[in-house]
Structure 1
Amino acid sequence: MARPRGKKRTAAQAAADESSKPEAVAAESSKHKAAVKEPAVRGRDKRVKAEAEDFPEKRNLEDLWLSAFPVGTEWENIDKIKEFNWNFQNLEKALEQGGVLYGKTVYVFASTESQRLDVNGESKIVLIPVVVAVDCPFPPSDKIGITSVQREKKEIVPMKAMKMAWVPYVPLKDRLRRIDSLKTKIFTLGCTQRRCVLKHLDIERVKKFDYCLPYYMPLNPPDEKYDTVVDIIYPLEPPIVCDFDWDLDDYECFADDLVEEEVLPEDEKEKFKMFVKERVRERKIELKQAKEARKKAIDDMDPKKKEAFENIKFYKFYPVKTPDTPDLSNVKAKFINRYYRDAHYLM
């Protein structure tokens, strides 16, 4: 019987049989992975490079000014601070190597000033963020003042009563380190009051935040020219809001002028005079008590702390000029507030 003849394999069949061998499969798989991997790596490198160009590296102290709560700014206006891309590189440079505050212990607080400025050819009210750096090895104060022309009484309360405190600031390069290993010399005045809770608070409590001012008691008494002026809010509809200087103003003439201006009714004149005299009496008592409290505080003060307060320095920073922000050169002022008075250095 004739033996069956084997069928000839085609080239395609031979290639298929060869590729089915384990060695061939492994080799083919390696080639495929290499072919896929190489363009993926190149694509990722391009993407990372593009992202780096879109998001430049942040400066080490770039968010320092934002870390300080803008004390005394109305809650509904806080977001207006971000209307412009403000830049405080002058503050950053002052704290970096070679700067006037480098290596020193500083306490930083922020506030805002409303000014009418030219914005792209249009006159506009702008809320300008301002930062004050206090050069002192000790906190300048643990209290907050609550005051405004709308409030008859001025209060000095502990910071914690308004949920405020001096908080250590951690520069960007140190934020991955253990907290207990940090030795920062920069502290910002922070506030832990959450805005979402405000709607559950009474109006008087919410308004207190609007009237807050960083408090400071200087070793030397303030300029006496401020000590003879009293704020008057006489309860009428609308209320009479004015200042009375008991050294310069006469009670009778002062009331007559208001009557002539039709601000004060004639039949309220005597009541108004008595009201002003009572406010002056209260103010004189406040000044006497403040003088005694200052003297006692200085007498009881630790010698090292007293020496530090004698050499304390205030630096007031405005944002630097950039193409994205309005010109502030004509609105800069050394005045900080009624407690800190004027800054030693305007930056």
Structure 2
Amino acid sequence: MRKGGAKRKVRQMEIEASQKPADTQSLRKRVKAVEPEPSPKPESPEETRKLEELWKAAFPVGTGWDKMEAVHNKFKWDFTSLEQALEEGGKLHQEIIGKDSNKVYLFGTIECHIQRSSEEEITVPMVVAIVSPFQPAYELSIKPFDSQGNGEETRVPMKQLHMDWVPYIPPDKKRDAQETERVMKSARVFVLGQYS
């Protein structure tokens, strides 16, 4: 009888197994298939991005009525940097969180860019943020525009134009009257807007 034959065979199998490429080695342990967990329902866009409409709420100062449609509807503008700045941990949030009197005041404006290839004018919206304990302005300057650039600038109180710095209320908070009232009382973000 020969002794050690079984050991030699096991050793030879181990050597062959170690020489196989890693992707062809057989699994030593059986793995039981697990049913995939149901993925959570995707949240509605309003819930994930409560500040997405913020830039639209800020009145675009210096924008002609003929440009308003192009500013809001021609392109889907992305203001996530503004959202991130106002969310917890963001630059603007840190400016107002530790200081009881500071607030953020936002207004919009536009820049017109001309594409060289098509000579088409593209109206690009911008949002200006002011961190201050006081409202930035009580008056607006109005200058009628004509082709020669003539027109006298007139200063008008914002109240006369039914405009004011109004607290920004996210769309998800507008549905509930109590929540709207609570947000209005503790508001730290204001937008230049019109009221009735």
* Structure 2 counterpart of 1:113, one-letter code: E
Question: Residue in 1 aligned with 2:150?
Answer: 150
TM-superposed CA distance for 1:71, in Å, is 1.9
Question: Residue in 2 aligned with 1:79?
Answer: 69
- Aligned residues: CA RMSD: 2.6
TM-superposed CA distance for 1:180, in Å, is 2.9
Which TM-score applies when normalising by structure 1?
0.37
Question: Residue in 2 aligned with 1:117?
Answer: 115
TM-superposed CA distance for 1:123, in Å, is 4.5
TM-superposed CA distance for 1:88, in Å, is 0.5
Question: Between Structure 1 and Structure 2, whose CA radius of gyration is higher?
Answer: 1
Question: Residue in 1 aligned with 2:158?
Answer: 159
Separation (CA, whole Å) in 1 of partners of 2:115 and 2:169: 34
Which residue of 88, 91, 100 corresponds with 2:82? 91
Whether 1:189 and 2:192 are equivalent positions in the alignment is yes
Which residue of 114, 125, 129 corresponds with 2:125? 129
Separation (CA, whole Å) in 1 of partners of 2:79 and 2:57: 12
Separation (CA, whole Å) in 1 of partners of 2:113 and 2:162: 29
Structure having the larger proportion of residues in helix: 1
TM-superposed CA distance for 1:135, in Å, is 0.6
User: Any unmatched runs of 5+ in structure 2?
Assistant: 1-40, 97-102
Question: Residue in 2 aligned with 1:238?
Answer: none
Separation (CA, whole Å) in 1 of partners of 2:114 and 2:64: 18
Question: Residue in 2 aligned with 1:27?
Answer: none
Separation (CA, whole Å) in 2 of partners of 1:64 and 1:168: 11
**Deviations 1:276-300 (CA, angstroms, capped at 9, x unpaired):** xxxxxxxxxxxxxxxxxxxxxxxxx
Aligned to 1:90, what secondary structure does the other structure show? helix
* Structure 2 counterpart of 1:133, one-letter code: A
Alignment of 1:161-180 (within 5 A): 161-175=160-174, 176=176, 177-180=178-181
Separation (CA, whole Å) in 2 of partners of 1:75 and 1:172: 24
TM-superposed CA distance for 1:65, in Å, is 0.4
**Deviations 1:65-105 (CA, angstroms, capped at 9, x unpaired):** 00111122111221111100001011111111111110521
**Structure 1 vs Structure 2: percent identity of aligned residues?**
37
Separation (CA, whole Å) in 2 of partners of 1:173 and 1:77: 28
Which residue of 60, 72, 76 corresponds with 2:50? 60
Separation (CA, whole Å) in 1 of partners of 2:131 and 2:88: 16
* Structure 2 counterpart of 1:143, one-letter code: E
* Structure 2 counterpart of 1:125, one-letter code: E
Separation (CA, whole Å) in 2 of partners of 1:112 and 1:192: 22
